[in-house]
Structure 1
Amino acid sequence: MSSRRTARKNAFITLYQGDLTGRPVEDVLNRWRSYRGEEVDLYMARLVRGVEEHKEELDARIGEAAVGWTVERMSAIDRNILRLALYEMLNVEDVPPEVAINEGMELAKGFSSEEAPQFVGGVLRGARPREPEKDGAEGGEEHEERRAGFG
């Protein structure tokens, strides 16, 4: 398993633990260090802290893209996979959106329900940044139809 894939998996586990227990992610990271007897991977820590710092923004984008779902209604597993993959998509320059989407789907395959990879992929594709139109316009009507689940 690649080191980034391992870091993503461990970041997801840390975020999930924090979400379930209500503990601050720094506490979960410290427990990780004491339990494993090793330093926390820098990329893993970057992802965990980044998701925590941008959680409100991430949840807003996820909620907008997940037609018919609220972030609170999603399973804690799916919610944290989505947060992690979307954070990486928006904030890690050397990770293309399709890679972040694929990695999120892989986490869902390993940790969630049979339907989760499709759900995660669909939400992430809906939440990904839109490429600006050639004339700089945002294509408002088409964008609204996609967001509403018609496109």
Structure 2
Amino acid sequence: MNRREAREKALQALFQLDINEQNPQDAIIHVLNEDAEKTDQFLEQLVYGAIEHKEEVDQIIKNNLENWTIDRIGKIDRAILRVAVYEMVHERTIPTNVSINEAIELAKIYGDDDSSKFINSVLSKVKDQLALE
């Protein structure tokens, strides 16, 4: 599984966890079509990392929203943002622009017509904030 596929599966797992309270491993297995043998270290890192750091990640998202609340963001967009912000903050070997571009591509596939612009806007602000730290 390449990193783009892992991000896509992580988005799907986080989306499921946002809808239903379930075990993260069950969500990962479900998005892998019940084949736990297909799991990927990067996929698990993204899912478990986003869950473990959810409060921090959500606060970063909240700090970079204009005229929005995190609860008002669609579940898909919120899951995309959580994966990307986790990656930007905690996976320092991945260039920030790669995380942003991958999130935008996921938004084009899974989000609505305005999702990619919204995701780009929020993540650009996050990038600027992280550069100041």
Whole-Å Cα distance in 2 between the matches of residues 59 and 37 of structure 1? 29
> 1:125 aligns to what?
124
Whole-Å Cα distance in 1 between the matches of residues 36 and 100 of structure 2? 31
Whole-Å Cα distance in 2 between the matches of residues 14 and 104 of structure 1? 15
Q: How do 1:1-151 and structure 2 match up within 5 A?
A: 3-32=2-31, 35-128=34-127, 129-132=129-132
Whole-Å Cα distance in 1 between the matches of residues 32 and 105 of structure 2? 25
Summarize deviations over 1:73-124 as a string: whole Å, max 9, x none: 1100000000000111111122111111111100000001011001001001
Q: TM-score, normalised by structure 1?
A: 0.80
Moved more, 37-46 or 57-66: 37-46
Shift of 1:29: 2.5
Whole-Å Cα distance in 1 between the matches of residues 116 and 80 of structure 2? 10
Shift of 1:24: 3.1
Measured at CA, do residues 43 and 76 of structure 1 come closer, stay the same or move farther in structure 2, by a change above 3 Å?
A: same
Q: Percent identity?
A: 36
Whole-Å Cα distance in 2 between the matches of residues 6 and 34 of structure 1? 14
Does the CA-based 8 Å contact 1:58-1:87 persist in structure 2? yes
Does the CA-based 8 Å contact 2:84-2:100 persist in structure 1? yes
Does the CA-based 8 Å contact 2:9-2:31 persist in structure 1? no
Higher helix share: 2
Aligned Cα root-mean-square deviation (Å)? 1.8
Larger Rg: 1
Structure 1: tracts of 5 or more residues without a match: 133-137, 139-151
Structure 2: tracts of 5 or more residues without a match: none
Does the CA-based 8 Å contact 1:32-1:40 persist in structure 2? no
Whole-Å Cα distance in 1 between the matches of residues 33 and 9 of structure 2? 15
2:72 counterpart SS class:
coil
Q: TM-score, normalised by structure 2?
A: 0.90
Moved more, 34-43 or 54-63: 34-43
Amino acid corresponding to residue 100 of structure 1 in structure 2: S
